[in-house]
Structure 1
Amino acid sequence: MVVIETPSCQAYSRDVRNPFGYRPSLAAGTIFLTLFFLSACTHLFQAIRYRKWWLSLFVLGAGCECLGWIARTAAWKCSYSPALFTMQIAILIFSPAFTTAGIYIILFRMIPLLGKHTSPFPPKLCLLLCLAVDIISLSLQAAGGGLASKSFHEDTDTRPGTYTMVAGILFQLASTISYSILMSIVFVRGFAGIRDSRPLRWLSGAVVLAIVCMVARGVYRSVELLQGWRGFLNTHQVYMIALDGVLMVTAVVALNVCNPEKLLKQAGEEIYLADPLVKESGSEEEIKVGTPESSDIV
Structure 2
Amino acid sequence: MLDTYSQALTSRVEDGNSTGPERHALLESPYGYTPNASLSTMFLAFFIIVTVLHLVQSIFYRRWFLLYTVVLSGLLEIAGWIGRVWSSHDVLQSNPYMIQIVCTIIAPTPLLAANFVMFGRIIRRLGTTYSRLRPRLYTKIFFSCDIIALVVQSVGGAIASGDDKPQSTVDLGSNIMLGGIIFQLIIITCFCVLAYMFFRAHHEDRPVRSTGPEETPRGKIHGKIQLLICAIGFNTALLFVRAIYRTAELADGFQGKIITTEWPFLVFDALFVLLATFTYNVFHVGRLMETEEEFMLELKGPKSHVSNSSQSDIPLTGKRWEFQQV
Matches within 5 A, 1:57-76: 57-76=69-88
User: Which residue, out of 2, 8, 19, partners 2:30?
Assistant: 19
Cα pair 1:140 1:165 within 8 Å, conserved: yes
Bigger helix share: 1
Q: How many residue pairs end up in the alignment?
A: 275
1:154 is aligned to: 164
Q: Distance in 2 between matches of 1:190 and 1:261?
A: 24
**Normalised TM-score (structure 1):** 0.85
2:9 is aligned to: 4
Deviation at 1:14, TM superposition (A): 6.1
Cα pair 2:106 2:153 within 8 Å, conserved: yes
Instruction: Give ranges in structure 1 of 5+ residues lacking alignment.
Output: 288-298
Deviation at 1:90, TM superposition (A): 0.5
Q: 1:65 to 1:14 in 2, by over 3 A?
A: farther
Q: Distance in 2 between matches of 1:18 and 1:114?
A: 52
Deviation at 1:28, TM superposition (A): 1.4
User: Which residue, out of 179, 184, 187, partners 1:172?
Assistant: 184
1:290 is aligned to: none
Cα pair 1:19 1:81 within 8 Å, conserved: no
1:291 is aligned to: none
Cα pair 1:4 1:17 within 8 Å, conserved: no
Percent identity over the alignment is: 25
**Normalised TM-score (structure 2):** 0.78
Deviation at 1:187, TM superposition (A): 2.7
Q: 1:18 to 1:194 in 2, by over 3 A?
A: farther
Aligned partner letter, 1:67:
A
Q: Distance in 2 between matches of 1:92 and 1:194?
A: 39
1:272 is aligned to: 314
Name the SS for the 1:154 alignment partner.
coil
Aligned partner letter, 1:272:
I
2:305 is aligned to: none
RMSD of the TM alignment (CA)? 2.5
Q: Could you say which structure has the larger radius of gyration?
A: 2
Q: Distance in 1 between matches of 2:221 and 2:83?
A: 45
Matches within 5 A, 1:1-298: 1=4, 2-5=7-10, 6=12, 15=25, 16-56=27-67, 57-150=69-162, 153-154=163-164, 156-157=166-167, 158-191=170-203, 196-265=221-290, 270-273=312-315, 275=316, 278=318, 281=319
Instruction: Give ranges in structure 2 of 5+ residues lacking alignment.
Output: 17-22, 205-217, 296-310
